[in-house]
Copies of this chain bind each other. A is one copy, B any other.
Amino acid sequence: MAGNTFGQVFRVTTWGESHGTAIGATIDGCPPGIPISSEDIQSDLDRRRPGTGGAASPRKEPDKVEILSGIFDGCTTGTPLTLVIYNKDAHSRSYDYLKDIFRPGHGDYSYLMKYGIRDHRGGGRASARETAARVAAGAVARKLLAFHDIQVVAYTMSLGGIDAENIDFSAIAQNSLFCPDMEAAARMEERIIQVKQEGDSLGGIVEIVATGCPPGLGEPVFNKLDADLAGALMSIGAVKGVEIGAGFEAARMTGSQNNDQLTPDGFTSNNAGGILAGISNGDPIVARVAVKPIPSIARSQWTVNLENEPVEINIGGRHDISAIPRIIPVCEAMVCLTLADHLLRLQTLEWTPEHFELDEE
């Protein structure tokens, strides 16, 4: 049973292969009346494109999105939206030498084991290119969230072992790594250049914050808001860890240190990351993800071919040094999709009380 659909009420199905005809997303469950244009979507997509930063690959996909359905007079109609991005700059040929070998750190081996068929052209569905469809769909979710004054922003907290320390959110927009510490950002860029020369790649940590969330989002017990966020974020290819609020640090704290006490003015701390017992408590929702280094490196590695013979592999092609910063709008998109879904899920439970009151009159 395939798994290309995300969400229960705001449901997104992404489709398309890295080197096929097109990639896209189909959204079912978006309420009517939301003004949305392809420009709204494009601006998020453009943030995911190869930038000028040293971490980026030179692939030049315009990633131009078209809306095929679901919009009338500039607004959603309540019917499904389909967003399509045609593939233009797909050099399938350049992957032909990979046809018979498994790239370390990639899904080549596990995909073949699963399907018995292999689309070796740049990873197929496992390609990071699939995330463009997520970003497109996330842009629609973001518009929906904006009605509730919910904002989602992500930024780089660590890259190549260098941590952001003096946090200044106004710095995020001022460097190509979206790091809230200009000084750290500069050192990260240096580290990227150094590692690029070494033919290697880097991982890092991205933090995502959602502000303006009303209390009440999240469904006990399996669809807790943090559970769904963790699943959403871990579904991004390069992510190997997710934590909420104090996260792994909480494992080393005592209860008196970790508990967020309440005052008439709100919580005194936010170790919970805005989520108590799986339900939003009105404080900012804070999540962090561990991003592994890009597996495609310009160094010789050992692997096997389809006959299970050892071969040395040297991966060419166009590859980033780090999934950061391009993964940042993807993280935002997954959080937007999760929150939009839970906002709509909430409606089904909020309904009765208002009528209940009528009934009691």
Contacts and interface: CB of A to CB of B under 8 A. Distances in A.
- Interface footprint category on A: 35 or more
A161 B202 contact: no
Contacts of A241: 241-244, 247-248, 250-251
Q: Which of A66, A248, A294 gathers the greatest number of chain B CB atoms within 10 Å?
A: A248
A161 B248 CA distance: 11
A291 B349 contact: no
B221 A4 contact: yes
A169 B306 CA distance: 35
Interface stretch (A40-48, A50-58, A68-76, A173-181): A68-76
A292 to B, nearest CB: 4
A309 B262 CA distance: 10
B291 A251 contact: yes
Given A13-B80, A15-B80, A235-B224, A33 B356 contact: yes
Given A16-B68, A111-B279, A147-B355, A201 B295 contact: no
A241 B178 CA distance: 24
Contact of A352 (B22, B144, B216): B144
A104 interface: yes
A98 interface: no
Interface in A247-273: 247-264, 268, 271-273
Given A1-B219, A109-B281, A262-B303, 11 more contacts: A2-B348, A72-B124, A78-B115, A102-B262, A105-B260, A113-B215, A160-B254, A201-B255, A240-B246, A246-B292, A261-B301
